Structure 1
Amino acid sequence: MSPRPKALVLGGRSGLLGQALVRVLRESGWDALPTGRDDVNVLDSGSLASFIERAEPAVIFNTVAWTQVDLAEEREEDATRLNRQLPTCLARMVRGTSMHLVHFSTDFVFSGRKGTPYTPDDTPDPASVYGATKLAGEQAVLQQCPDNACVVRTSWLFGPGRRNFVKVILDICHDKGEARVVHDQIGSPTYTLDLAAGSVKLAELRATGIFHVANAGQASWCELASEAVNLAGLPCKVHAIPSRDYPQKAQRPPFSVLDTARFTQMTGITPRPWPQALRDYIYKECLPAMHDA
Structure 2
Amino acid sequence: MLDDLLRLHDGVITLDQAARCGLSRHAVNRHVRSGHWRRCSQGVFFVDDRAFTDAARIRASVWGYGPRATASGLAAAWWFGLTKFAPEVVEVTVPRNSHGRSRQGTRLRRRDLMPADVVERDDLQVTALPLTAVEASVQRGGGPNLMDTALQRHTNLRPLWNAHLRNKGRYGSPAARRLLQAADGGARSAAERLFAQLLRQAGITGWKANQRVAGYEVDYAFEASKVAIEIDGLAFHSDPDDFQRDRVKQNALALAGWQVLRFTWLDLTEYPERVIAEVNRAISAR
TM-score above 0.5, yes or no: no
Structure with bigger RCO (C-alpha 8 Å, 6+ apart) = 1
TM-score by length of 1: 0.26
TM-score by length of 2: 0.26
